[in-house]
Amino acid sequence: MIFWVIMAVLAASVSLSVLMPLYRTRQVERRLAEQEMSVYRDQLGEIDRDVDRGLIAGSEAEAARNEIARRLIKADQAKSTDAVGLRSERPRQVAAVLAVVGLPVAAVGLYLLVGSPGLPDAPLAARLAAQPEQQDTAALIARVENHLAANPDDAEGWRIIAPVYVRMGRHDEAATAYRHLVRLLGSNAERETALGEALVRASGGSLTAEAKEAFDRAAALDPQMVGPRFYLALGLGQSGDTEGAVTALQSLIDDSPPNAPWLVSVREVMARLESVDAPPQPGPTADDIEAAGEMAADDRAAMIEGMVAQLASRLESEPDDAEGWARLVRSYMVLGRPDDARAALDQARSALDGDEDKLAMVEAEAQASGLSE
């Protein structure tokens, strides 16, 4: 309510600021030419002062006075033509209506359109000071955070907030919380594992040096624990030791009960590791492009472009691969780059010159994919 009262007062005073001069000004006052003439009179006075100070010589002052006098006379002549007639009341009435009605209505209308009437302020200090049951989760977290910033040695606080961070996806902060827990409560396998996991997630899935150290410590404390074994194996795979990784994962599978919930992920990782040794796919196949259909548009484009680029560069070094050329031409057409397709076809012609069979195959593919000649 008070908000609307203040708004009304504000709008009314603005209207008044327009209305007052409209009704308090008398029509005929000093004329324009007179105001202008006063400037010239002031200038004449200025010259006298300059002469008194000795800044300009008498002859110069005389010349300046002559000039200004000429302008003064000219302004005086203009004055007589600058007549002021009588005014009707009309403009004033229009202006008054504009000020009293138009102005507040337009302002309130626009405000209702873009404003958020009635939404109270939410200064942070007041929100944090509110009773816990009235607070949102974010405010509660902020309160714990503020508490921990002031009392970084409060293990209980870190223990509460660490899993919250994990759930919210704030893995960096989760890692910090677990670091504090390890520092305050000492190292044990669970805490080190939690720290390692937070670090891996924070780095987007790769095992950083700090994460590896955490898992190493956890494994030393409890060699049978699943988490460290899994992540350390993952790390081996990432550093290129595929064989070691597969062995470690296999032994993890062997040690696990057959219905253990983690086995799915472990097998998945293993399958991926084993397929790394298989020969890479030469360029995007139809399946690849279809699979890419399920990705986000940007990722998809990037994936296909990357594969095509890979294929093109491989053909630079192995130019007699007719199948490759055919696929490259087709890929370019699929991607809507006919110019590149044509260039690739030209390259293929010069590379396969003399081998009629291979060339015919590329030509046929070009025809089929719609690259008309």
Partner 1 sequence: MIAELGHFALILALVLAVVQSVLPFWGAMTDDRRLIAVAGPAAVTQFLLVGLSFAALVHAYIVSDFSVLNVVENSHSQKPLLYKITGTWGNHEGSMLLWVLILALFGAMVAAFGRNLPDRLKALVLAVQAWIASAFLLFVLLTSNPFIRLNPAPIEGNDLNPVLQDIGLAVHPPLLYLGYVGCSIAFAFAIAALIDGRIDAAWARWVRPWTLAAWMFLTLGIAMGSYWAYYELGWGGFWFWDPVENASLMPWLAATALLHSAIVMEKREALKIWTVLLAILAFSLSLLGTFLVRSGVLTSVHTFASDPTRGVFILAILCVFIGGGLSLFAFRATRLAPGGVFAPISREGALILNNLFLTVLAAVVLTGTLYPLVLEALTGARISVGAPFFNLIFIPLAVPLLIIVPFGPMLAWKRGDLRAASERLFAAFGAAILAAAVSAWLAGMDDVLALFGVALAFWLIVGALSELAFRVKLGRAPVAESFRRLAGMPRSAFGTTLAHAGVGVTVLGLVAATTWASEDILTMKAGDTVEVASRTLKLDGFQQRAGPNYAETVARFTVYDGGAAVAVMEPSKRNFAARQTMTTEAAITTFGLSQLYISLGDITPESAVTVRVFWKPLVTLIWLGAVVMAIGGILSLSDRRLRVGAPKPARRTVAAPAE
Residue 133 DSSP symbol: G
Least Å from the CB of residue 181 to partner 1: 19
Copy the structure tokens of residue 181. 């827990």
Q: How far apart are CA 239 and CA 164, in angstroms?
A: 31
Least Å from the CB of residue 34 to partner 1: 9
Residue closer to partner 1 by CB (options 6, 368) is 6
Q: How far apart are CA 165 and CA 173, in angstroms?
A: 7
Query: By CB under 8 A, is residue 92 in contact with partner 1?
Result: yes
Query: By CB under 8 A, is residue 6 in contact with partner 1?
Result: yes
Q: How far apart are CA 166 and CA 72, in angstroms?
A: 83
Least Å from the CB of residue 180 to partner 1: 15
Q: How far is CA 353 from the centre of its chain?
A: 52
Of 94-113, which residues contact partner 1 (CB under 8 A)? 95, 98-99, 102-103, 106-107, 110-111
List C-alpha distances in Å: 31 to 9, 34, 71, 137, 212. Answer: 37, 5, 17, 70, 89
Neighbour-count burial of 348, counting CB atoms closer than 10 A to its CB (0-12 exposed, 13-18 middle, 19+ buried): buried
Of 111-140, which residues contact partner 1 (CB under 8 A)? 111, 114-125, 127, 136, 138-139
Least Å from the CB of residue 271 to partner 1: 35
Query: By CB under 8 A, is residue 26 in contact with partner 1?
Result: yes
Least Å from the CB of residue 22 to partner 1: 5
From 5, 80, 81, 85, residue interacting with partner 1 (rule: CB under 8 A): 85
From 75, 214, 248, 341, residue interacting with partner 1 (rule: CB under 8 A): 75
Q: How far apart are CA 289 and CA 303, in angstroms?
A: 9
Query: By CB under 8 A, is residue 17 in contact with partner 1?
Result: yes
Query: By CB under 8 A, is residue 23 in contact with partner 1?
Result: yes
> Computed from CA positions of residues 328, 334, 340, 342, in that sequence, does the dihedral angle turn out positive or negative?
positive
# of chain residues touching partner 1 (CB under 8 A):
81
- Closest by CA position to 373, among listed 361, 359, 363: 363
Residue closer to partner 1 by CB (options 46, 318) is 46
Of 27-56, which residues contact partner 1 (CB under 8 A)? 27-30, 32, 35-36, 38-40, 42-43, 46-47, 49-50, 53-56
Residue closer to partner 1 by CB (options 29, 294) is 29
Residues 256 and 262: beta-carbon distance below 8 Å: yes
Query: By CB under 8 A, is residue 81 in contact with partner 1?
Result: no
What are the backbone angles phi and psi of residue 136, rounded to the nearest 5°? -80, 165
Q: How far apart are CA 136 and CA 49, in angstroms?
A: 74
Residue closer to partner 1 by CB (options 58, 336) is 58
Q: How far is CA 40 from the centre of its chain?
A: 60
Residue closer to partner 1 by CB (options 30, 167) is 30
Q: How far apart are CA 292 and CA 335, in angstroms?
A: 13
Q: Which stretch binds partner 1 (CB under 8 A): 58-66, 184-192, 198-206, 330-338?
A: 58-66
Q: How many Cα atoms are found within 13 Å in the side-chain-facing hemisphere of 92?
A: 12
Residue closer to partner 1 by CB (options 89, 357) is 89
Residue closer to partner 1 by CB (options 103, 344) is 103
Of 306-335, which residues contact partner 1 (CB under 8 A)? none
Q: Which stretch binds partner 1 (CB under 8 A): 83-91, 177-185, 308-316, 321-329?
A: 83-91
Q: How far apart are CA 348 and CA 366, in angstroms?
A: 11
Q: Which stretch binds partner 1 (CB under 8 A): 69-77, 188-196, 262-270, 354-362?
A: 69-77
Strand, coil or helix: 134: helix
